[in-house]
Amino acid sequence: MIEAYFDGASAGNPGPSGAGVFINANGQVERFCIPLPEMSNHEAEFHAFIAALEICLEKGYKTVSFRTDSELVNRAIEKEFVKNKAYAPLFEKALSLTNQFDLFFLKWIPSRENKNADELARKAIQQAK
């Protein structure tokens, strides 16, 4: 099974932001740094998730376990509901993408287990500045 780790980060809240996606495709590692415009950290987390979903779909990965340290994203997808309406468009887009997978899993992990994606997100912030 493919494992995709993602993280969003902002330098300020809001501030220049970035998304990091780290994919382990059966031992083959892929890394993505995605610079984002100025936004909040929570928005960056949703953008990182959407990027991870889109990358996996583009590569034809249809059975994927996604990993995040964002409790907000994890809870929103798990409950299929987002409380803050400001995140609703991002949530809806992410939810629609999850339906395109044959098997989709999302698991919350502690930050220490998401270091690769975090480093990529921070690198993307530097690219965004």
Give pLDDT, residue 84: 92
Q: Distance between CA 51 and CA 48 in Å, rounded?
A: 5
Give pLDDT, residue 128: 75
User: pLDDT tens digits, residue range 28-61?
Assistant: 999 999 999 999 999 999 999 999 999 999 999 9
Give pLDDT, residue 13: 86
**Residues 64/103, Cβ–Cβ less than 8 Å:** yes
Query: How many percent of the chain have pLDDT more than 90?
Result: 96
- Residue boundaries of the structural domains of the chain: 2-19+35-128
Give pLDDT, residue 62: 96
Regions in the chain scoring below 70 on pLDDT: 129
Superfamily of chain region 2-19+35-128? Ribonuclease H-like superfamily/Ribonuclease H (3.30.420.10)
- Is residue 25 within a helix (H) or strand (E), and if so which, with residue range? strand 15-25
